[in-house]
Amino acid sequence: MEQSAEGVKRVFLDTFGCQMNDNDSERILGFLKNINYTRTSKPTDADLIILNTCSVRDKAEQKVYSALGRFKDLKDERPGLILCVAGCVAQQEGEKLLKRAPYLDLVFGPQNIHRLPDLIGEISKKRGRLVAVEQSASIDESEYGLSSASDKRAFVSIMRGCDNFCAYCIVPYTRGREVSRRSADIIDEVSRLAEGGVKEVTLLGQNVNSYGVGGAEVSFPELLRLVARIDGIRRVRFITSHPKDISVGLIRLFGEEPKLARHIHLPVQSGSDRVLKAMGRGYTASHYASKARLIKSLHPDIAVTTDIIVGFPGETEDEFEETIALLRDLRFDNIFSFMYSPRPLTKAAAFDGQVPADVRSKRLQRLQDAQRQITLERSRELVGKRVEVLLEGAPKPGECEFSGRTSCNRIVRFSHDGALPDSIVEVVVTEAYPNSLRAEFPVHGK
């Protein structure tokens, strides 16, 4: 183990799951920076190890337990090492985690990140192993602080929790009920990020379309306009929209606000009306399709991505085929696809008709194969076109390979020998691959 500089300690932070957890990890690092922790990529060099966990799917949860087991020997060798589990598994399991892993020091949920410096202080004073999973019905801005984002892109949480209680989803139980942050606090956070060099912000919520419902002073489209006015911010994204709540006003905003990224993530989950009803999604496949077609008709350049779950309890082969048909009809730019896995506390865990694992696996493979071809075809449509790319990091020493993302959230790679004029550059797409694009810079003939 390398020695830390005097007064400075090191944290190894491993993040599992979604963008919400990415944002939580940035906040964790921000609070730790205030007590002289710096990040390390090597757990063997760390004074503090934090696993920021996800429990949305069983596979993600099992990864956490596997990672915990790997750190047991390290903890035995160095009893002074502080080992923590954060995030949704922490919120879900609480005290059970301490029993399962007697070498674990701290368990804390998403609503207790701001308490981390005090919790670490208590453990350092040898005051025992701690669990902090309390939830609040309101938001205290001290929970948020300023994220540690140091690159050109950052996540900003605009709300927390979810009130939808979909039959398969554990999020309302691990992250609590919906509460919106004040718009002034969000604007202040984005402004400070912009002053630090951030060019693109992604506004986060389990259902951003519910922002402001029941109390906040502005609607979600109004919040987007306010964020877009901030000097230095060049792109604004948001995740995630719920199909039953997305408004025509928000859809039209893509044509009115040039800083709004040309990408929308709109989870469909299934193409079967019966399955959607059992899931408690609150819309039909035709309702979803009408919203997706409206988006594409008004804004043909927008990339539409989605989430799909296969093997939900009771899903028949014909119902799965309805999902495949919807996929081919709407031609999503990309999908995030998963096999259903029962989660504690959720209604669907008790449903009859649990689909065998081998059937779920085969359906997932078929779905992904179908989408892979569609994604490649959609990517090929961009060959020869000019696109703006927000750069992500600099090339390694001695190399000239740059990469970044388009407004449509596609990864682009290109070569250039020398410095670039801006953090956002225009390139011309020369080749298309399933998961990325190849481009040329500079663009000639402008």
Residue 41: inside a domain: yes
Residue 190: inside a domain: yes
At 444 the pLDDT is 63
CATH code, domain carrying 107: 3.40.50.12160
Can you tell me the distance from the alpha carbon of 206 to that of 178, in angstroms, rounded to the nearest whole number? 9
User: Of 20-29, 34-43, 134-143, which range is least confident?
Assistant: 134-143
Residue 194: inside a domain: yes
Can you tell me the distance from the alpha carbon of 98 to that of 361, in angstroms, rounded to the nearest whole number? 33
Do 342 and 361 belong to one domain? yes
Residue 193: inside a domain: yes
The H-or-E segment that residue 225 falls in is: helix 220-228
φ/ψ (deg, to 5) at 205: -165, 150
- Whether 396 shows a pLDDT value over 80: the answer reads no
Residue 313: inside a domain: yes
- Are 237 and 203 contacting, i.e. CB atoms less than 8 angstroms apart? yes
Count of domains in the chain?
A: 4
Do 15 and 37 belong to one domain? yes
Asked which of 243, 261, 279 is the last residue of a domain, the reply is: 261
Mean pLDDT, range 414-422, rounded to an integer: 84
Closest CA to 17 of 82, 89, 84, 75: 89
At 146 the pLDDT is 55
The H-or-E segment that residue 290 falls in is: helix 285-298
At 48 the pLDDT is 96
Mean pLDDT, range 211-226, rounded to an integer: 86
Do 14 and 114 belong to one domain? yes
Do 367 and 294 belong to one domain? yes
3-state secondary structure 258-287: CCECCEEECCCECCCHHHHHHHCCCCCHHH
- Token pair of 37, please? 């922790």
* Tens-place pLDDT, residues 313-369: 999 999 999 999 999 999 999 999 999 999 999 999 999 999 999 999 999 999 999
Mean pLDDT, range 437-441, rounded to an integer: 95
Do 33 and 73 belong to one domain? yes
- Whether 406 shows a pLDDT value over 80: the answer reads yes
What residues are paired with 308 via a beta bridge?
A: 269, 337
Do 158 and 206 belong to one domain? yes
Do 19 and 125 belong to one domain? yes
Q: At 227, is the pLDDT very low, low, confident or very high (cuts 50, 70, 90)?
A: very high
**DSSP 8-state symbol, 114:** G
At 208 the pLDDT is 95
Do 419 and 345 belong to one domain? no
- Whether 185 shows a pLDDT value over 60: the answer reads yes
- Whether 419 shows a pLDDT value over 90: the answer reads no
Mean pLDDT of the chain: 90
CATH code, domain carrying 241: 3.30.750.210
At 82 the pLDDT is 95
* Tens-place pLDDT, residues 233-284: 999 999 999 999 999 999 999 999 999 999 999 999 999 999 999 999 999 9
- Whether 127 shows a pLDDT value over 80: the answer reads no
In which residue are the tokens 């992500």 written? 392
CATH code, domain carrying 433: 2.40.50
- Whether 225 shows a pLDDT value over 60: the answer reads yes
DSSP 64-113: HHHHHHHTHHHHHH-TT-EEEEEHHHHHHHTHHHHHH-TT--EEE-GGGG
Do 15 and 115 belong to one domain? yes
Residue 377: inside a domain: yes
- Give 190 or 392, the one with higher predicted confidence: 190
- Whether 400 shows a pLDDT value over 80: the answer reads yes
Do 118 and 171 belong to one domain? no
At 141 the pLDDT is 58
Q: Which residues contact 130 (CB under 8 A, 6 or more apart)?
A: 105, 106, 107, 108, 119, 122, 123
Do 375 and 405 belong to one domain? no
Mean pLDDT, range 212-241, rounded to an integer: 91
- Name the amino acid, one letter, at 335: I
**Domain region containing 94:** 9-132
Half-sphere exposure of residue 1, counting CA atoms within 13 Å on the CB side? 17
- The reported pTM is 0.86
What percent of the chain lies above the pLDDT cut of 70?
A: 94
Residue 213: inside a domain: yes
At 36 the pLDDT is 94
At 214 the pLDDT is 60
Mean pLDDT, range 187-203, rounded to an integer: 95
At 167 the pLDDT is 97
Asked which of 261, 287, 314 is the last residue of a domain, the reply is: 261
Asked which of 261, 293, 319 is the last residue of a domain, the reply is: 261
- Are 315 and 308 contacting, i.e. CB atoms less than 8 angstroms apart? no
Please state, as a whole number, how many other Cβ atoms lie within 10 Å of the Cβ of residue 324.
17
Residue 138: inside a domain: no
Do 215 and 233 belong to one domain? yes
CATH code, domain carrying 271: 3.30.750.200
The H-or-E segment that residue 171 falls in is: helix 171-174
Backbone φ/ψ region at 126: left (φ over 0), alpha (ψ -120 to 50), beta: left
